[in-house]
């Protein structure tokens, strides 16, 4: 198997949900779900957390992730991109003589992500001729039917598109916001997590939940409770 580095990006200082990345979610710190999914996948050479926060670093270590170095000030500010963070990690690992064929970037708030999903995604990418993979979810209704509000009135964004039957429209997808897999050399060359040859890994909407606000967090709890009941039932 080729070498794969899992990088969980977990900056401190969340404003809308204080300490979101390590806030307790069903008895465990949120970031532990991402770490456990990586461990259960059984495909990673190393699992590390990139953070600027000592508390996140300690909890990550306690849950089995590596913290070989802390994130620099440059990649910890509000203007740093995810690519900047990944590039820094790759550079630091190279200094120790470690190179990886693939990078898997994961976000820390992914309680629905399983090791099975990560393993399946990697197997599909490795068996293809593509350079990267991105989880996506299908929009439940055609985006061509979108509407907007102008001067208090509801107006079709595209009146002609509203006349098209749903079965005649090509399905559209949105970013699952959970993880990205990419060949390291492609990442460094194209400086993008979604290069030209990025394949889709289609996921079910019940496995995806943005967690940016308290309302999002509450919805995630409801979905997770149902998810666990369904799985155990």
pLDDT in tens, 27-78: 999 999 999 999 999 999 999 999 999 999 999 999 999 999 999 999 998 8
Query: pLDDT confidence of 15, banded at 50, 70, 90?
Result: confident
CA angle 77, 80, 85 (to 5 degrees): 110
216 burial via Cβ count (<10 Å: 0-12, 13-18, 19+): middle
Query: pLDDT confidence of 25, banded at 50, 70, 90?
Result: very high
Query: pLDDT confidence of 165, banded at 50, 70, 90?
Result: very high
Q: Report the DSSP pairing between strands 153-156 and 46-50.
A: unpaired
H-assigned helices in 42-157: 54-62, 82-95, 115-126
CATH number for 4-137+175-232 (one of 1.20.140.10, 1.10.530.10, 3.90.550.10, 3.30.70.1350): it is: 3.90.550.10
Distance between first and last Cα of the chain: 36
Query: pLDDT confidence of 233, banded at 50, 70, 90?
Result: low
The count of other CB atoms within 10 Å of the CB of residue 185 is 12
Q: How far apart are CA 165 and CA 2, in angstroms?
A: 45
Query: pLDDT confidence of 13, banded at 50, 70, 90?
Result: confident
Assigned token pair, 116: 């099975």
Contact 200, 139 (CB under 8 A): no
Predicted TM-score (pTM) of the model is 0.94
What pLDDT does residue 194 have? 96
Q: How far apart are CA 210 and CA 219, in angstroms?
A: 9
Contact 49, 57 (CB under 8 A): yes
Query: pLDDT confidence of 228, banded at 50, 70, 90?
Result: confident
Structure confidence by residue, pLDDT tens digits, 214-223: 999 999 999 9
């Amino acid at each position: 198997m080729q070498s794969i580095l899992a990088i969980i990006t977990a900056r401190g200082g969340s404003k809308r949900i204080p300490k979101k990345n390590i806030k307790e979610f069903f008895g465990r710190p949120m970031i532990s779900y991402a770490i456990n999914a990586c461990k259960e996948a059984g495909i990673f050479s190393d699992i590390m957390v990139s953070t600027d926060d000592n508390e996140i670093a300690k909890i990550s270590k306690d849950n089995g992730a590596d913290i070989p170095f802390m994130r620099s000030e440059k990649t910890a500010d509000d203007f740093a991109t995810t690519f900047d963070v990944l590039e820094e990690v790759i550079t630091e690992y190279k200094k120790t003589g470690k190179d990886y064929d693939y990078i898997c970037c994961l976000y820390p708030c992914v309680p629905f992500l399983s090791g099975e999903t990560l393993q399946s995604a990697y197997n599909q990418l490795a068996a293809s001729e593509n350079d990267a993979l991105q989880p996506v979810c299908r929009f439940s209704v055609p985006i061509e039917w979108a509407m907007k509000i102008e001067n208090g009135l509801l107006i079709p964004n595209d009146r002609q598109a509203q006349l098209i039957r749903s079965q005649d429209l090509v399905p559209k997808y949105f970013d699952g916001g959970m993880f990205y897999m990419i060949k390291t050399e492609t990442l460094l060359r194209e400086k993008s997590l979604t290069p030209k040859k990025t394949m889709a890994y289609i996921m079910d909407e019940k496995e995806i939940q943005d967690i940016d606000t308290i309302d999002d967090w509450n919805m995630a709890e409801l979905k997770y409770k149902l998810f666990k009941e369904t799985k155990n039932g």
